[in-house]
Structure 1
Amino acid sequence: MEESSANYVEAVENSQSNHGWQKVVYHKRQRKSKPENSTSGDTIRANGDKAGNVFRSVEQHAEERRKRVVEAQKASLQAEFLAKPAAAAAAGTSDEDSDAENSHPNGATAAEEKKMKQKKAKKPKVTVAEAASKIDPSNLSAFLVDISGSYQNAPDIQLMRFADYYARAFSAVSSSQFPWTKMFKESPVSKIVDVPLNSIAEDVYKTSVDWIGHIPIDALSDFVLWGLDSIIADLVAHQGTAKGSKKSTQQPSSKAQVAIFLVLAMVLRRKPDALFNLLQTLKTSSKYQGQDKLPVLVWVIAQACQGDIAVGMALWVQILLPLAVGKSSNPHSRDLALQLLERILSSPKAKPVLLNGAVRKGERLVPPAALDLLMQATFPSSSARIKATERFESVYPFLKELALAGSPGSKAMKQVAMQIFPMSFSAISKNNPELSGEAAGIFIWCLSQNSECYKHWEKVYLEQIDRSVVVLTKLSEEWKQHSTRLAPLENMRLTLKNLRLKNEQALNDAESGADRIGLIKDADKLCKALLARLTSRGGCVKTSLLITLAVGVAVYAVASTNPDSWDWEKLSVLFGSPQSI
């Protein structure tokens, strides 16, 4: 009762304070709209999001995604504009004309206006030669002076500005006027070597290469690598289009293609070492591997050949030879590589120049490993001969001479002999007589250059008795030819004696098989015959010396009328005593 009375009194007081009015409250609606109270003000909901921030992460991801899309579109538009500035400008002009034509002050309809509109005349196609003819040498010279002063300490920027000059000069040339991929694929090497330099005036070319000559070699190498990468990227883009790839690949503009080829050719002809310095990169990077890259590599090496034939030969041996004779080679790759080699050797001064520069910067133009590849390609088995074999046979003699060129007996040649020795010995095979004969001849050459090769032969003699028999047979059949190269013959005499001792020990070995015993007996017969020739050669030398002494004495007797006045001591000193012989 007391609680009811208290409530009644409170209600009366409230009524009096509100002057008899009461506020109607819908408790259910109030509960829905009233926010939940929290002591911290950041009540955590069951799903882990704070109050009022449920969609914040979603909105942030959406905003970031939108920014990326906008940036990608912007970059695409910029690239498209850079690639086709002429098309973009033409499109802008067309839009303006269209807007002007769509305003019809006389009330003519769009259909009537379209009928009255005449077709626009097509722009004439500009060839590479026509664009090249418009290059002013004096303007080019002034431009080069300007960039050399403005970017004195930045040769890489100078080169890019230089390339940009030619890019603007050929901006009107369309890709149809320079279909380089088709040209390189279908044309012989002789037709593509001078493309596109054959369109440039001589004074323009001279101005350019003279300026290139002052650029540091490191900057030129970086520029060559950039240019080569651009050409490879364009090649890959064309291949993707030809195969019907759905993936859109941006291709360089036609003006960039012409300019890159042109500037790259001038750099390589003026400074071939810019490409030679990239040799290891070209050999090891997968970007430049594959038969599809071969025409491009042939073209760049051909440019280097025009500047330095020795650099061109070194690049051919190191890059193109493995592609021509390797496991992945095919008739097309062999033909391209041989075309360039034949072009190099066709120059009248090529062979003497290459022989004089057989060693370049401590490296041989034709190293031992390359000689082995050439020997295998030139002397295949009778069943493995191909069309290119005859072409290898025609160039092999000079390449072999180049591989073995040097001062006989010098320290450098001794090292070369030690490198070639095991390769030549391993190439001897009973299944290929021609290859075995050639390899045995090179083996004997190694003996003539380094006496250490005799010792190595003795170590492997019995292990490789079949190959040793081939070498001994070669020596026996061509003794007159090889004996002069092997002189003095003391090392050969000692080695043959040691080989005979090894034969005797092996024949007494009960574990030797019948075939092996037969080979050892054949080798021993050859050793014995060669030792007999060496002995007879010594006797012939003594006989010739005695005859020379007798003739000398006779001449002296005729010249002197009084034999008693002869000075026998002087004669003995002059001709030597018989005992000393």
Structure 2
Amino acid sequence: MQGMEKDFELVEEYSPSPVIGREDHQVDGEWQTVRRKNRRRQPLRILSTHENSCGTEQQDRLVADAVVMESSSGNDVEMDKRPKVTVAEAFRNINVTQFASFIADISGMYERMHDVQLMRFTDYFRTVLAKVSHSQFPWIEILKDSSVAKMVDIPLVDIPEEVYKISVDWLSSRAVDALGSFVLWLLDSIVGEFEIHQGVAKATKNAIPKTPPKCQVVIFVVLAMILRCKPDLLIILLPIIKDSEKYKGHDKIPVMVWVIAQASQGDLGVGLFLCVHFLFNMLKDESSSNMQSWDFILQVIERIVSSPKARIILLNRAVRKGERLVPPSALEFLMRTTFSVQFNGTERLQVVYPTLKEVAIAAPSGSKTLKQITQKIMLFAIKAAGEGIVALSQEAGDLCIWCLTMNQDCYKQWEDIYLENIEGSILVLKKLLDGWKAFSVKQHTLHPLKESIQRFRVKNQQAMAGCENAAYQASLRVAEKYCKMLSGKISPGQKYMRIFVLAGIAGIVVGINAAFLFKDLKSSG
């Protein structure tokens, strides 16, 4: 997918043809090439063979619709005078048979030029939707003011089912490289226009332009269909999207949420992957985060995790393209935001957190992946456990105990960071004591814990001997108390063994005495 970002700015500038400055026209049923000088390539309307066989009057109308409209003010006025129709009305005018014939025509005519096929495909819908104005499709207002549940169906809610099926079946068989480049071009068109008409500028404060926004309905239609049938494209394109400033910023979140919502319609895992790996990065900057951004993102996540069989789907495919849907770093962000930050979305985040946490820690028992996950989680969890925020400490402590249960190597890791995380260690030690019965029955062996507790006690004694900090001394004494109590829990047999030995000795003594007594009685008798 290298080189996808080249020269993709506005819709009118897309030129996938290897021969720049040439345009194909159909004249008297024959395809001819006309060379143009000093002009950019403009999308052309391609007439299918079926359309070309229509009567003269109908053909003239189709040709008129197929004419490329320059972006001059005069043409804009002519377009404004056209009768306006809704998206639904425009879609109803599609003849399914003619549309299928058109798809077959461009597939054969540009057999090895999938990028050109995609442009012609878009031009078809541009012609169909030419009379839909911005007032009939106020996409900027829809993105900014609508709920995700509503915006996700726009504009495909009105497309005929047969047309949609023909389209996505055809799109699914296009080359990935061609689709990837085309998606970036479509996305750039939306993002660029959206930014202009929000009055957002990075260097200066510009007023909202007086000119009305372009009606981008065709861009939304084609992009939505591609994303739904090929959602994995966004994972492939994510490095490009993440590295480009044009897609970043809270002002772009409504657009990116719509894009991700479309992909999640095709694959819930892709939707969650993009929320975590892209949208969360915007929210990690607390200085610039805001409630509207959180609301949009939470709506997408809520929609994903509440979908039928979402939990099973996400757990079974917790890794995509070699990366986890919810990596440990994202789990830390979620944990801290859910249990230490109070905002209007806290309760909603607490509802989805358990599912996201399950996805984050999902891995086959005993696998290398599980070992890597537990060791990464242990590092941030032990630290968070000691930060003194009650809800955060409890959740972090639970994660630490899960790590110790799933991976015995985490005991050695705990030993290495014990003294520098003494407060977190105290909380984990206390949790082990309080939940000893439930914890102990899950362990194959308590030997690793026993060894760690012994080393902790040595560390406690050494640290207390050389520590002048009264508060740290007090913490060490508390830790030592819990370590001693756990030692008793781990080796209760030592106490009972002493009793058994003493009882055994006593029994032997009694037995010997009884034997001598019996002997004496027998002798005297």
**Category of TM-score, reference length = shorter chain:** 0.7 to 0.9
Structure 1 consecutive aligned stretches of length 4 or more whose deviation exceeds 6 Å: 78-81, 241-244, 246-252, 537-541
**1:304 aligns to 2:291 (yes or no):** no
* Partner of residue 332, structure 1: 292
Match of 1:529 among 470, 485, 491: 485
The answer on whether the counterparts of 2:224 and 2:259 sit within 8 Å (CA) in structure 1 is yes
Task: For 2:344 and 2:118, locate their aligned partners in 1 and report how far apart those are by CA, in whole Å.
Answer: 44
The answer on whether the counterparts of 1:218 and 1:274 sit within 8 Å (CA) in structure 2 is no
The answer on whether the counterparts of 1:237 and 1:251 sit within 8 Å (CA) in structure 2 is no
Distance 1:253 1:332, change over 3 A: closer
* Partner of residue 454, structure 2: 497
Task: For 2:108 and 2:82, locate their aligned partners in 1 and report how far apart those are by CA, in whole Å.
Answer: 38
Distance 1:279 1:502, change over 3 A: same
**1:385 aligns to 2:342 (yes or no):** yes
Task: For 2:172 and 2:308, locate their aligned partners in 1 and report how far apart those are by CA, in whole Å.
Answer: 27
Task: For 1:269 and 1:403, locate their aligned partners in 2 and report how far apart those are by CA, in whole Å.
Answer: 25
Any idea what the Cα deviations from partners look like across 1:558-579, whole Å, max 9, x if unmatched?
Answer: xxxxxxxxxxxxxxxxxxxxxx
Task: For 2:496 and 2:328, locate their aligned partners in 1 and report how far apart those are by CA, in whole Å.
Answer: 38
The answer on whether the counterparts of 1:212 and 1:267 sit within 8 Å (CA) in structure 2 is yes
The answer on whether the counterparts of 2:134 and 2:213 sit within 8 Å (CA) in structure 1 is no
1:520 deviates by: 1.2
Residue aligned with 1:135, SS:
coil
1:89 deviates by: 9.6
Distance 1:247 1:376, change over 3 A: closer
Match of 2:224 among 244, 253, 265: 265
Task: For 2:290 and 2:460, locate their aligned partners in 1 and report how far apart those are by CA, in whole Å.
Answer: 46
The answer on whether the counterparts of 2:273 and 2:325 sit within 8 Å (CA) in structure 1 is yes
Distance 1:540 1:236, change over 3 A: farther
**1:432 aligns to 2:377 (yes or no):** no
Task: For 2:438 and 2:149, locate their aligned partners in 1 and report how far apart those are by CA, in whole Å.
Answer: 41
The answer on whether the counterparts of 2:197 and 2:208 sit within 8 Å (CA) in structure 1 is no
User: In structure 2, what residue type is equivalent to 1:282?
Assistant: I
Residue aligned with 2:225, SS:
helix
1:429 deviates by: 3.2
Which of 528-537 and 191-200 deviates more? Answer: 528-537
Residue aligned with 2:491, SS:
helix
* Partner of residue 301, structure 2: 341
Match of 2:75 among 63, 74, 88: 88
1:338 deviates by: 0.7
Match of 1:518 among 474, 477, 481: 474
Task: For 2:292 and 2:355, locate their aligned partners in 1 and report how far apart those are by CA, in whole Å.
Answer: 24
* Partner of residue 162, structure 1: 121
Any idea what the Cα deviations from partners look like across 1:140-198, whole Å, max 9, x if unmatched?
Answer: 11111111112111111111111111111111111211110011111111111011101
Task: For 1:287 and 1:479, locate their aligned partners in 2 and report how far apart those are by CA, in whole Å.
Answer: 53
Task: For 2:261 and 2:191, locate their aligned partners in 1 and report how far apart those are by CA, in whole Å.
Answer: 17
1:90-489 equivalences in 2 (<5 Å): 124-240=83-199, 245=206, 253-254=214-215, 257-324=216-283, 326-327=285-286, 328-380=288-340, 384-489=341-446
Aligned residues: 435
Task: For 1:149 and 1:358, locate their aligned partners in 2 and report how far apart those are by CA, in whole Å.
Answer: 40
Distance 1:488 1:361, change over 3 A: farther
The answer on whether the counterparts of 2:86 and 2:136 sit within 8 Å (CA) in structure 1 is yes
The answer on whether the counterparts of 1:358 and 1:364 sit within 8 Å (CA) in structure 2 is yes
Larger-Rg structure: 1
Distance 1:193 1:153, change over 3 A: same
**1:508 aligns to 2:461 (yes or no):** no
Any idea what the Cα deviations from partners look like across 1:507-559, whole Å, max 9, x if unmatched?
Answer: 333x4422222111111111111111111279999xxxxxxxxxxxxxxxxxx
* Partner of residue 512, structure 2: none
Distance 1:247 1:465, change over 3 A: closer
1:481 deviates by: 2.6
1:208 deviates by: 0.3
Distance 1:122 1:315, change over 3 A: closer
Distance 1:499 1:202, change over 3 A: same
**What is the TM-score normalised by the length of structure 1?**
0.70
Task: For 2:386 and 2:90, locate their aligned partners in 1 and report how far apart those are by CA, in whole Å.
Answer: 60
Structure of greater relative contact order (alpha carbons < 8 Å, 6+ residues apart): 2
**What is the TM-score normalised by the length of structure 2?**
0.77
1:23-38 equivalences in 2 (<5 Å): none
Task: For 2:72 and 2:99, locate their aligned partners in 1 and report how far apart those are by CA, in whole Å.
Answer: 22
Distance 1:91 1:519, change over 3 A: closer
Distance 1:89 1:285, change over 3 A: closer
User: In structure 2, what residue type is equivalent to 1:426?
Assistant: K
1:125 deviates by: 2.1
Task: For 2:205 and 2:452, locate their aligned partners in 1 and report how far apart those are by CA, in whole Å.
Answer: 68
Task: For 1:156 and 1:518, locate their aligned partners in 2 and report how far apart those are by CA, in whole Å.
Answer: 70
Return 5+ residue gaps in structure 1 as ranges: 1-73, 93-120, 542-581
The answer on whether the counterparts of 2:198 and 2:208 sit within 8 Å (CA) in structure 1 is no
User: In structure 1, what residue type is equivalent to 2:323?
Assistant: E
Which structure is higher in helix share?
Answer: 1
Any idea what the Cα deviations from partners look like across 1:389-447, whole Å, max 9, x if unmatched?
Answer: 11111111111111111222211100111221211122223431211111121112222
The answer on whether the counterparts of 1:314 and 1:366 sit within 8 Å (CA) in structure 2 is yes
* Partner of residue 25, structure 1: none
Task: For 1:234 and 1:498, locate their aligned partners in 2 and report how far apart those are by CA, in whole Å.
Answer: 63
Task: For 1:160 and 1:414, locate their aligned partners in 2 and report how far apart those are by CA, in whole Å.
Answer: 48
Task: For 2:343 and 2:324, locate their aligned partners in 1 and report how far apart those are by CA, in whole Å.
Answer: 29
The answer on whether the counterparts of 1:447 and 1:486 sit within 8 Å (CA) in structure 2 is no
Task: For 1:241 and 1:338, locate their aligned partners in 2 and report how far apart those are by CA, in whole Å.
Answer: 24
